[in-house]
Amino acid sequence: MGTDDPEVIEAAIDLGYRHLDTARIYENEAVVGAAVAASDVPREELLVATKLWVTDLAADDVGRSARESLDRLGLEYVDLLYVHRPRGAYDPAGTLPALDALVDEGLVREVGLSNFSAEDLETARDHLETPVAAHQVEHHPLFRRAELVEDAREHGYPLVAYSPLASGKAFDLPAVREAAEAHGVSPAAVCLAWVLAREGVVAVPKASSEPHLRANLEAADLRLSDAEIARIDAIEREEELFPE
């Protein structure tokens, strides 16, 4: 969630949002935890995710870092714990079994990966007993990796698209703008609809106000034509917002 105001997150939950994406490096665990605590929605209906940063991925640090995240969230468990990037202290043979141990302890329900290459994913599966529950990557009209979508489909987990609006950089693209005009919606809605048109792909857009929260939900009902999707697919310009 793109806000430091727990009331905005409470509003999101009230509107029907159930997937709350956090990370230590985002510095939003405490605010999300406050909103979860204040909400009338039962905890078991929410999917709360957080991520271990690259400095906390040594086998001996995984458990400590996860517990610190739980303390900031004020929760007894997280539904999904990601490896934020396979970099820094990441070692598949040590990091991933430490995540399995957290699942065995009940502190983590499922394990996710983030910003992995197809090769990294294959290596991770060799060391992780818990099935990969999700892979979160940058994915929008200006940056996508077909091989990661295919890996998600082949192995039966969702690809979670972060920055699906490309921080607004895709809004002026002719293919996006013309589709928005044709449907009477915003370019942001078109970007989200394009992401969600892929089987097995879900999105975690940021939202800092209730109007944006409502607009994101409405975009889920937008159906682009095959021709509109193909035009966006054919965009040649590439811009990665969060390179390694």
Q: Give pLDDT tens digits for 139-151.
A: 999 999 999 999 9
Backbone angles phi, psi at 167, to 5 degrees: 50, 30
pLDDT (0 to 100) of residue 211: 83
Residue 239: how many other CB atoms lie within 10 Å: 14
How do the domains of the chain map onto residue ranges?
1-132, 139-236
Catalytic residue among 26, 82, 90, 162: 26
99-129 pLDDT per residue, tens = 999 999 999 999 999 999 999 999 999 999 9
Please provide the CATH number assigned to the domain covering 1-132: 3.20.20.100
Report the distance separating Cα 209 and Cα 230, nearest Å: 31
Q: Which of 105, 124, 167, 136 is nearest to 19 (CA)?
A: 136
Tokens of 165: 């609006």
Instruction: Provide the pLDDT for residue 182.
Output: 97
Tokens of 121: 């994913």
**Is the C-alpha dihedral spanning 97, 120, 29, 196 positive or negative?**
negative
Tell me what pLDDT residue 210 has. 83
Intervals of the chain under pLDDT 50: none
Return the beta strands (E) in the chain as ranges: 19-21, 47-52, 78-83, 108-114, 132-138, 159-162, 201-204
Cβ–Cβ < 8 Å for 11, 216: no
Residues across the chain: 244
Burial 112-139 (b: 16+ CB within 10 A, else e): bbbbbeeebbebbbeebebebbbbbbbb
Q: Does 26 participate in catalysis according to the annotation?
A: yes
Q: Rounded to two decimals, what is the model's pTM? A: 0.95
Give the pLDDT of residue 46: 98
